[in-house]
Amino acid sequence: MKRAARAFWLCSPGAGEIRDIVLPEPAEDEVGVRALYSGVSRGTETLVFRGGVPESQHAAMRAPFQEGDFPAPVKYGYLSVGEVEEGPRDLVGRTVFSLYPHQTRYVVPVSAVTPVPENVPAERAVLAGTVETAVNALWDAAPLVGDRIAVVGGGMVGCSVAALLARFPGVRVQLVDADPARAEVAKALGVGFAAPGDALDGCDLVVHASATEQGLARSLELLRPEGTVLELSWYGDRQVGLPLGEAFHSRRLVIRSSQVGTVSPARRSSRTYADRLALALELLADPALDALVTGECDFEELPAVMPKLASGEIPALCHRVRY
């Protein structure tokens, strides 16, 4: 395995660079991986890129193999797919997923890689971390057969949730987003679509993932009495106003948070983090999920591409990086 590697670093808020590094020799319980693809999780990673992680959340927001500290300089990311070049015989040559930043080669513990099923292309496997978030969200939400559900916010996480909900029998699923271009993504995923003002109300469950104050307020409006909003958005250091007057109490509405950092209490006694990630990779056998990858660039282009993703100039869901 080559010991030289290159890594993408945020050197200051809004500016990134590629740095040359030298890798260590893998120990007996480690693997050397050559990256094939990585994914930019547009919501979280662009928030980090802008320097928007509040100081109180610096520890909670650390990625598993992050180097440096917020706001910068920091090496951040967690959607990497590569081929094992060195390590146990049963892993060498295998395609694996790891929660590693954007880097050409890396050395990690064997426990930090998960083999990608043979029926899942490496290009699609970069979605594993986001689909894992969706799995955890649905463990939290516990939707029932026949539920009426809206997913407000057609970003990477919202679309992943909608894609999984499309498999539930008898469920009415509508993806709600202000961008009419998301209608094509919804169609590919097999769910309905509506602009916020046209969304169907009377929902048993609304999954909110738009990371906007307006989206959360609209989510509450779409609920039936005693319905639940599952909040998946990450607002960083922004303050959010919420209409908890009016009919919020009389209609007995519920707002519940969900976060992938811990396994949902509904499955914590029977599923590990590894089990959850393996399940997410199995679910990626569905080619409909290719609709979530809306852009691609070479690794060397990342310093120029990240500012465009952060500003919205490139309106990507998952932006894939080629190595």
| DSSP for residue 288 | G
pLDDT, residue 18, reads 98
Same domain? For 231 and 142 the reply is yes
What's 187's domain CATH number? 3.40.50.720
Q: How far apart are CA 224 and CA 253, in angstroms?
A: 8
- Smallest Cα–Cα separation from 214: which of 247, 172, 176? 176
Structure tokens at 234: 């990450």
User: Which candidate, 99, 131, 150, places its Cα nearest to that of 293?
Assistant: 131
**Is the same domain home to 292 and 225?**
no
In this structure, are 108 and 158 located in the same domain? Answer: no
pLDDT of res. 187? 98
Give the 3-state secondary structure of residue 82.
Answer: strand
Of 294, 289, 271, 308, the residue nearest 120 (C-alpha): 289
Domain stop point among 216, 239, 257: 257
Same domain, 135 and 248: yes
Number of domains in the chain: 2
193 lies in the same domain as 87: no
Residues 181 and 114 in one domain: no
- Enclosing domain of residue 20: 4-127+284-322
Same domain, 294 and 245: no
pTM tops 0.85, yes or no? yes
d(CA 218, CA 68): 38
Q: Is residue 236 part of a domain?
A: yes
Q: Which among 257, 273, 307 is the end of a domain?
A: 257
Contacts of 76 (CB under 8 A, 6+ apart): 10, 45, 48, 63, 66, 101
- Please state, in angstroms and rounded to a whole number, the distance separating the CA atoms of residues 159 and 276: 18
**Residue 265 belongs to some domain of the structure:** no
Domain-located, residue 269: no
**Domain holding 70: CATH number?**
3.90.180.10
15 and 123 in a single domain? The answer is: yes
pLDDT computed for residue 77 by the predictor: 96
Domain shared by 174 and 215, yes or no? yes
Residues belonging to the chain: 323
* 262 part of a folded domain: no
Look at residue 271 and tell me if it is in a domain.
no
What pLDDT sits at residue 238?
Answer: 81
Q: Give the rounded distance of the alpha carbon of 303 from its chain centre.
A: 21
Domain co-membership, 120 together with 168: no
d(CA 235, CA 187): 28
Q: Is the peptide bond before 73 cis (omega within 30 degrees of 0)?
A: yes
Give the pLDDT of residue 267.
97
Copy the structure tokens of residue 282: 């199995």
Question: Across the chain, where does the E strand assignment appear?
Answer: 4-12, 15-22, 30-41, 67-68, 74-75, 80-86, 95-98, 105-109, 113-115, 148-152, 172-176, 192-194, 203-208, 223-231, 254-257, 293-298, 318-322
The answer to whether residue 42 is domain-embedded is: yes
Mean pLDDT, each 10-residue run in order, the chain (323 residues) = 91 98 96 98 88 90 95 97 97 98 98 97 97 97 97 96 97 97 96 98 98 96 98 86 90 95 95 96 97 96 97 90 98
Check whether residue 145 and residue 112 sit in a common domain: no
Same domain, 139 and 204: yes
pLDDT of residue 1: 63
**273 in any annotated domain:** no
Q: Is residue 279 domain-resident?
A: no
Final residue before a domain boundary, out of 257, 292, 310: 257
